[in-house]
Structure formats: C-alpha cells, structure tokens
Amino acid sequence: MEPADLTPPSPEDARLEKLLGQDLDAPLPDAGFSARVLEGLPPQRDRVFLWGQITALATGALAGLAFALWQGASWSDLTSIVVQLEQATFQISDQLADTGLILALAIVAGLLAIEFPSDDPSEERL
C-alpha cells in the first residue's frame, strides 16, 4: 500500500491553502476587466417587450377562436382540428426519427447559417 503523503508539503502549498480558505465576499481586483467585458456584451432584451409579444400572440389566438365560434364552428369541429394536428405531429416525429433526414436538415441549417450570417455588425464574416 502506498503512503498517504507522497510529497512533503511545501511552503507554497500552505500559502495556497490559506488563500483558498479565505472568505472572498469582496470582488477580486481586476483592473476594470469585468466592467469592460460587461460593456462589450449585447444589450439584454427588454422583458416588457417580450411580455408584449406574448400578450399580442395570446390576444390574436383568442380573437381567432372567438371569430371561428362566431362564424358557427362548434367545439366538435375545433376538437377534430386538434386531433388532425396531433396526427400530423406524430407523422412528422416519426419521419424525424430517420437519422438520414436529421443529417440532411443539419447540413441545410449549417449552409443557411453560413449564407445568411447574423445582422450583428461586430461579427465578421469569413
């Protein structure tokens, strides 16, 4: 059986253990590096705008449902549409189980990403 301590502790090890044992609640000095990184990040999307989009989509969906019911559609008509959508979704998911199709879709997505790069001017095109 090997001894537990193969190398004797050095003064550097003791110093590192002392540093690692300190409570580091205060930010580490970085000469403004963190501030520069945060300034370089793209601005965050406004959550109010996101909720506005969600509200607009929900309102449109409810308006469409109300219009369909107003035009004489019954709940049985709407449930049959839901069943048809569910069957179509299962057919698509069965086709997506084919690895060849997934590979082809991945290649097309990659080519589209190369052909239509981001609108961000900070990203350089190859």
Mean pLDDT for the stretch of residues 101-119: 83
pLDDT digits (tens, 9 = 90+) for 8-60: 677 788 888 887 777 777 777 888 898 899 888 887 766 666 778 889 999 99
- Name the residue ranges covered by the structural domains of the chain: 28-115
In angstroms, the CA 20 to CA 27 distance is 15
Mean pLDDT of the chain: 80
Higher-pLDDT residue of 79 and 106 is 106
Whole-structure pTM value: 0.31
Residue 120 has pLDDT above 80, yes or no: no
Q: Is 89 exposed, middle or buried (0-12, 13-18, 19+ CB in 10 A)?
A: exposed
Tokens of 39: 């300034």
Q: pLDDT at position 58, please?
A: 93
